[in-house]
């Protein structure tokens, strides 16, 4: 099972925050959901997404921080800043609807 993960808005938002350096679980959660929804209780959707991205080696967890890998940098690097900003906005909108 070697399927490639698509660059979805939520995945782009997570990689965008990680490209700036190691981040905590909370920072990654805020990137995924946006500041408002990230305050709600955790759910399996977020945990599953993190698990898939770690499994596909886009980033890894070391101690208490998440760090981007070369593959994650490649995915986020293939996008321009406008696409990244649009993806973050869309990810947060999608999270608020859920």
- Residues 34-45 pLDDT 10s: 776 666 766 677
Single out the residue of 87, 76, 24 nearest to residue 50, CA to CA: 24
Q: Residue 70 above 90 pLDDT? A: yes
CATH assignment, 9-97: 1.10.10.10
pTM tops 0.75 = yes
Mean pLDDT, rounded, for 58-84: 93
Structural contact between residues 53 and 47, judged by C-beta atoms closer than 8 angstroms: no
- Rounded distance, CA 1 to CA 90, Å? 29
Q: Residue 55: count other Cβ atoms within 10 Å of its Cβ.
A: 10
């Amino acid at each position: 099972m070697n399927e490639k993960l698509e660059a979805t808005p939520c995945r782009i938002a997570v990689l965008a925050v990680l490209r700036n350096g190691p981040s905590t679980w909370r920072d990654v959660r805020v990137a995924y959901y946006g500041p408002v929804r990230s305050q709600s209780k955790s759910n399996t959707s977020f945990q599953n997404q993190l698990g898939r991205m770690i499994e596909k080696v886009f980033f890894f967890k070391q101690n208490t921080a998440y760090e981007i890998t070369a593959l994650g940098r490649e995915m986020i690097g293939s996008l321009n800043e406008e696409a990244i900003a649009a993806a973050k906005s869309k990810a947060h909108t999608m999270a608020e609807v859920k």
